[in-house]
Structure formats: C-alpha cells, structure tokens
Amino acid sequence: MQNNKILILLPDGIGLRNFAYSDFQAIGAQENFDVVFWNNTPFDLTELGFKEIKIQNSKSHPLTETYKNVRKQIELNLFIRRTKDRVYDTYRFPFLYATTPRAIKSFVTQLLSFTHSSKYGLKRIREKIKQEERKTLYYHQCLETLQKENPAMVFCTNQRPMTAIAPLLAAQELGIPTATFIFSWDNLAKATMVIETDHYFVWSDLMKKELLFYYPYIKESQVFVTGTPQFESHFDKNKLLSRADFFEQNALDVNKKYICYSGDDVTTCPDDPKYLEDVAIAIRELNKNGHSLGIVFRRCPVDFSNRYDKVLNDYQDVITPIAPLWKKIGEGWNTVLPTQADVDLQMNTIAHTELVVNLGSSMVFDYVAHHKACAFINYDVVHKKNTDWSVKKIYNYVHFRSMPNTETVFWINSPDAIATMIKEGIATKPSVIKAAQQWFEIINQHPAQEASRRIWEGIKIIISKE
C-alpha cells in the first residue's frame, strides 16, 4: 500500500495564507493524502481541524545566519558577473556596526563574501551551512520526528527561513523526497534561497526560467510549474459579502464609490504617508467637482507604525482605514501572521472598491482577478524621508521587467495627475484590464484558481517515482 502521508513544513507564518487558509488541505484530503502540518508557527492549526506536529525547538546553529548572509552576497555578486547588471546591488541590505557583535558579523560576512565569490566558493558556503545545521539539537529532533512519522514526502511552504534547513536536511538524510514552494514573484532575483530540496514548485514558466538561470545546479526535471494558491480566494464567490453588508461593517458611505490605497512597509516606501495625502487631496478636489468618492486605506500588514496617524486624522472626511486582520505574535516582521479572516477581508475590500492605488505591489494581480485596474505611484516627493530612496529604484527591480507593456497599469507621474488617473481607473479602460490580465498570466500559471490542484498533481508525480 502506497504511503500517502505528506508533511507540510511551515517554518514560519509566511506559508499560512497559501497552504492553511486556502483549499490546499481539503484538496489533498480529497485526493486521499494524509496531510499533516509540521508547524513552526505559534498558530494552533488543530483549531482549523488540521493534523499538526508542533516543532518545539527550531534553533539554528549560531553560525548559520552569518553563512546565510554570505551566501546571499556571493549569489548577488555572481548574478552581476553573469548579467553585467548592477540592479542586483539594490537587493543588498546595509551592514550594521552599531554593536560589537553586529560589527563582527558584518566584518566576517564581507570577508567571506570577498574570498568566496566564485561558483566553487559558493558551493563551499552552501556545504558549510549544511555541516553546521547537522550539528544542532534541532536537526537530531527532526530526524526523530521523521523516523516516527515516516512521511512519503516533506513539502516546505517557503524557501527563505533558516528554520527550514534542518528539517529538510534530516529528510534527505533518511531518503525522504523534499520540495519547496517559491513564495513570491520577486524572490529569486533577490537571492533569497536558503534551502535546497529535491524538487521546486514555482508560479510560472517565467519563474522556472529564472530559477534555472540563477541556480544552475537545479535541473529542469526538478521544477514544477503550478501557480500560487495566493490568488485562489478571489475566485470563491461564496465568501463575498453584499455591498450593503460590507459598507455597514466598515462604516463606509453607501452613496460613495471608494478606491483602495494599499500601503507599503517603511523600507519599500518611506514616503507612503505623503503619497496617501496626495491621493486624499485629489479626492477632495474631485468631490468639489461633483464626484462622490472616498478612500479605503489598507495598510501593509506588517506595518504597525504611527506614521500615517496625522494624514488619517487630517483627512477623516475622505479616508476610512480598514486594518488588515493579522496577528502580532512578536516584535519581528516575520512574527506578524495572517489569519483566515484577513483573506476574506482583503477579497471583499477588492470586490467593493473601484481600483487600487499603490507603489508597485502585487495587488495589481489581486485587482485584475476581479477585473479591476491598478494605478502605480511613479514620482518622488519633494521632501523625501530618505534621500537615497526613489521610485526609480523600485520600478527598476527585475520582477517589473515582466510587465508586457506600459499600459498595464495607470501611471501616476505627479500629484497633479492623480485625479485624472483615478477618473480613468474608475471608468476602467478595457485595454488596461486586458494588459494587466496578460501580465497576471505571465507571472502566474492559469487558471489561477487551480494552483492547489496542480501542486498536489506534482506531489503525486514525485511520490509515485519513489
């Protein structure tokens, strides 16, 4: 009898939305898989009716973080060398010297990056990460768990966390096939790969091409193109509230049409409050000229700062904040975790607003799934919070090069252009929606609502070969 137990490794909360709050688990159960979440998050998944094994001690080796940072620096160096493109420098984080331990880590990272910036040097660093992780108590506990559970496969929900290294190494040591899902559309160019598995699940043919380019040691036969469950909720009309109910629940005016301003985190967009204010000023002007409009402000879920407070207070007549329903478990950005309720809230926010305005986020795809447009902020403010930051840096990132043409979104090139772009966005030019849909199909396998099923088909193929 074939072993159908699949361990879904949740090294952090990033994978909850895709694999716990989608239909992924239910589809696996329908396909007669024994789906068990190997859970390193604070969330109790048994409350959702899921089987889980709690990870109790996910402590990596003290040197792993440094080696991980070295690996990233080397990979970015190699990307630049291969492409002759300095864009990869923009993915580096500044080195920190505020304390002695941080200064030592920064020095060691820079030294090792310099002495190992070659294909062979990178291989040595990759091996050092594995060697150190195999020495940990965490690794040996993972071996014990896997020997007890005897799964047919371990599927990791995210390629980035250090806490995923030990469980996957332990599985490979026992001959259990492993796979990982590439979490986001911009991850590969950023050199965020921390783990190495037997198989890789990606969003699109484009992402597959990127994976094979950036990581030449991965073979084409190891890669499955499936799409991401991230967008599946938009096609589940059963969770849509009526306009009247949504407006009542969120204190919105039924006589107004609303646009959504989707906020960024402070690193991505330090001037976001000013952009929100510019949009609010434009909405006021439109309302003076006979329109009846408002703004729904959805902040970045990991931004709990007070930086928007003044704008929200000054423009209460046009801005209604609807906060994401994420839970803050700790202090780091990766301890702010999504909830099922927020998946439903985001879908209904999109369904009951006319378009979205933001700085270059993947919300363009969420909105086009509802046949609605996106407007991208595309100008620098006069008094910038960070003089080294610019919208030009954002739109020069590699993932924006997949955009099929410039009419994929409405470009807001100055504060004076906001009102016109909002009017055009609400009117919804068919050509913009069509181009946005083409972009969506480039970055994510379609039909978008079938991603979970395609992932399970890939899992079937992998375990059938064992």
All residues at 6 or more sequence positions from 264 whose CB lies less than 8 Å from its CB, including other chains: 272, 300, 303, 358, 359, 361
Dihedral (C-alpha) 65, 70, 72, 77: value to the nearest 10 degrees? 170
DSSP state at residue 374: E
Which pLDDT value is given to residue 330? 62
What are the structure tokens assigned to 294, written together?
């408002």
Confidence of residue 43 (pLDDT cuts 50, 70, 90): confident
279-310 as b/e: b if 16+ CB within 10 A? bbebbeebeeeeeebbbbbbbbbbbeeebbee
Closest CA to 341 of 48, 7, 8: 48
The answer to whether the beta carbons of residues 318 and 1 sit under 8 Å apart is no
pLDDT beyond 80 at 160? yes
User: Alpha carbon of 363 to those of 8, 83, 260, 270, 355: distances in Å?
Assistant: 27, 29, 10, 19, 10
Q: Which CATH superfamily is domain 5-60+136-228+448-464 in?
A: Glycogen Phosphorylase B; (3.40.50.2000)
Confidence of residue 335 (pLDDT cuts 50, 70, 90): low
pLDDT beyond 80 at 411? yes
pLDDT beyond 90 at 337? no
Cis check for the bond before 447: say yes or no (omega within 30 of 0). Answer: yes
Q: What residue spans define the domains of the chain? A: 5-60+136-228+448-464, 64-126, 233-443
Mean pLDDT (whole number) for 186-208: 97
pLDDT beyond 60 at 333? no
Instruction: Note the pLDDT tens digit of each residue in 47-104.
Output: 999 999 999 889 999 999 999 999 999 999 999 999 999 999 999 999 989 899 899 9
Q: Which residues pair with 320 in a beta bridge?
A: 296
Element (H, E) at 223: strand 223-225
Confidence of residue 304 (pLDDT cuts 50, 70, 90): confident
Mean pLDDT (whole number) for 160-167: 97
Q: How far is CA 262 from the centre of its chain?
A: 15
Handedness of CA 197, 65, 52, 185 (dihedral sign): negative
Instruction: Note the pLDDT tens digit of each residue in 110-156.
Output: 999 999 999 999 999 999 999 999 999 999 999 999 999 999 999 99
Mean pLDDT (whole number) for 392-400: 95
**In angstroms, rounded to a whole number, what is the distance separating the alpha carbons of residues 172 and 318?**
56
pLDDT beyond 90 at 327? no
In this structure, which CATH number among 1.10.1380.10, 3.30.590.20, 1.20.1600.10, 3.40.50.2000 belongs to the domain 233-443? 3.40.50.2000
Closest CA to 259 of 79, 418, 134: 418
Q: How far is CA 213 from the centre of its chain?
A: 21
Residue whose pair of structure tokens reads 């068990």 in the numeric block? 36
The answer to whether the beta carbons of residues 183 and 208 sit under 8 Å apart is no
Residue 384 is which amino acid? K
**In angstroms, rounded to a whole number, what is the distance separating the alpha carbons of residues 385 and 401?**
27
Confidence of residue 285 (pLDDT cuts 50, 70, 90): very high
Q: How far is CA 207 from the centre of its chain?
A: 14
The answer to whether the beta carbons of residues 381 and 269 sit under 8 Å apart is no
Tell me the longest C-alpha to C-alpha distance in the chain. Answer: 71
Mean pLDDT (whole number) for 178-185: 97
Average pLDDT, the chain: 95
Closest CA to 339 of 300, 301, 296, 367: 301
**In angstroms, rounded to a whole number, what is the distance separating the alpha carbons of residues 234 and 348?**
9
Mean pLDDT (whole number) for 8-15: 93
The domains spanning 5-60+136-228+448-464 and 233-443 adopt the same CATH topology:
yes
Tell how many helices (H) and how many strands (E) occur in the chain: 17, 15
Model-level pTM?
Answer: 0.95
**In angstroms, rounded to a whole number, what is the distance separating the alpha carbons of residues 13 and 41?**
6
All residues at 6 or more sequence positions from 464 whose CB lies less than 8 Å from its CB, including other chains: none
